[in-house]
Chains A and B, each alone.
Chain A
Amino acid sequence: MATEERNIDDPALLAEQARENVEKAAADLRSQSLPIETEPPTVFTPPT
């Protein structure tokens, strides 16, 4: 059975792909082992 080809610039398709990208990135990040003591780098400086 022939499948209907979707326009690659269809906004609904793009929205779906963008959501999938976010989910895929999150899965990649979560799959990395990370020691519990690892803190993020910070640029916060308390006022003097």
Chain B
Amino acid sequence: MSRFATIAELARALRGRKVSAVELATETCDLLETLAPRYHALATLTRERALTEARAADRALARKAANPLTGIPYGAKDLLAARGAPTTWGAPPYRDQVIDMDATAIAKLKRAGAVLAAKLAMVELAGGGGYRYPSASLQGPGLNPWDRGRWSGGSSSGSASAVGAGLVPFALGSETSGSIGTPSAYCGVTGLRPTYGLVSRHGAMALSWTLDKIGPMARTAEDCAIVLEAIAGPDADDRTASGKRFRPLAARAAASAAKRARVGYAEEDVADHASTEGKAALAKGVAELRNIVPHFARATLPAMPFGPMVQTVYASEGASIFAELIEGPRFEELVDARQKAGLRASLEIKARDYLRAMRLRTTLIEAYAAIFTNVDVILTMGRAATATRVTQPLDLPPTAGGAVAQPTKRPGNTGMIAAGNLAGLPAIFFPCGFATDGLPVGLQLVGPPFSEALLVAIVAAYQGETGHHLKRPRD
């Protein structure tokens, strides 16, 4: 089997007995052991667990009791607890932490027959303090499979680079504000951020109770849907779980829905804000999507301070969650000095400002609802520029490469990552080509709450007509 096979292709091979789940698990663990360190993608290899789960999958396959994920290996961001393995949250103070339970998302994947092959690297504490360097992780800087001199993005760094490098067919990531989207865009993979509350957060490190979401990162939109169907749904252990389930649309309904969808777009996003290197590929990606989904209309977010809003919310909640760490003896073990300063300062955010940010979220949610009376989804760039250099301070302007255009008076929808997260909306990030520096660029589609089936249908139609998601990096 190609190591870049999709879930659907692997499932066919397993059902056709071309490969056993144990063989696939062994191959995946060997790949991870050999290649994941090149990308600093690995937190813990879970070979023993993988083989146990693979043997169970082989038994299910023999009984013809398999479902689409039976025997499919995967990796999970090391923010999710998994029985029998450490859960480091990417942070040195938690390097020996063992949470002896499976996070609900992992337990659901186990019930669906999937095989956990590895815990994957992440930015320490999901970057809640505002880190300066890609190296802000116990596992080292996440390196990009397309160019190891570039960052994989964060905070789901290992999830994106492991999928992008063909080490696992899918991975679980999490997003508070950008942590699935950014690494998906940088590594050229397809990432799905679910609606807040669609996937249980039980057993996941909390950075922000009102923002955190867990979602799949994979090779295709259809693979993301297979994983989302397994992990979505009610959970008595997470009081924020909506109780809703996810079902992808059937093929004919999906094709029809994609064709009829009304796409909101602001042309200044690419025209005024894309990097010099990425602009042509992003514009081509938009044009390709327009050929498939022709109903475009102008849609723009209201002018609001999305960055300060989201930062105030997650910093306040994160400071409360990590107050004992911040004021305790192990705090200095964190890697990134800027992150430490940010976490300390977050303890001083005033309640009035947190609540003002939260009340502004209500205004934003209402604004989105108004936009979604005119369009079904909103299209914008995944990221405006390609992956930053590994040595580049993330809070300072790039010194070379990946330069982002100067802000103009037309912000368009460039605040979509923060705004979409503040409103709890689902988004899908998908590759749409390569910039002139050879790195992938991608787009994102955002929809109203629980519109994942439409988002998947549109991107599946796009991926059916284009081949950007099929491009592979060299080792």
User: Which residues of chain A from 1 to 48 have any CB-CB distance to chain B below 8 Å in the complex?
Assistant: 8-9, 11, 14-15, 17-19, 21-22, 24-26, 28-32, 34, 38-41, 43, 45
- Chain B neighbourhood of A18, CB < 8 A: 130, 338, 341-342, 344-345
Q: With A15-B345, A18-B130, A29-B360 in contact, is A41–B365 under 8 Å at CB?
A: yes
B239 at interface (Cβ–Cβ under 8 A)? yes
**Across the interface, do B311 and A41 meet the contact criterion of CB distance under 8 Å?**
no
Of B305, B338, B362, B365, which is within 8 A of A28 by CB? B305
B: contact size bracket: 35 or more
- Chain A neighbourhood of B315, CB < 8 A: 22
**Across the interface, do B309 and A29 meet the contact criterion of CB distance under 8 Å?**
yes
User: Which residues of chain B from 314 to 348 have any CB-CB distance to chain A below 8 Å in the complex?
Assistant: 315, 337-338, 340-342, 344-346, 348
Q: With A14-B341, A21-B130, A22-B348 in contact, is A40–B311 under 8 Å at CB?
A: no
A39 to B311 Cα, complex, angstroms:
19
A22 to B356 Cα, complex, angstroms:
14
- Chain A neighbourhood of B239, CB < 8 A: 43, 45
**Across the interface, do A11 and B341 meet the contact criterion of CB distance under 8 Å?**
yes
Q: A9-B337, A41-B358 are in contact. List 20 more A-B contacts (CB 8 A).
A: A11-B341, A18-B341, A18-B342, A18-B344, A19-B345, A19-B348, A22-B315, A22-B349, A24-B308, A25-B353, A26-B350, A26-B353, A29-B360, A30-B353, A30-B356, A32-B356, A34-B360, A38-B359, A43-B239, A43-B240
Give A contacts to B, CB under 8 Å: 8-9, 11, 14-15, 17-19, 21-22, 24-26, 28-32, 34, 38-41, 43, 45
Give B contacts to A, CB under 8 Å: 130, 132, 209-210, 239-240, 304-305, 307-309, 311-312, 315, 337-338, 340-342, 344-346, 348-350, 353, 355-363, 365, 393, 396
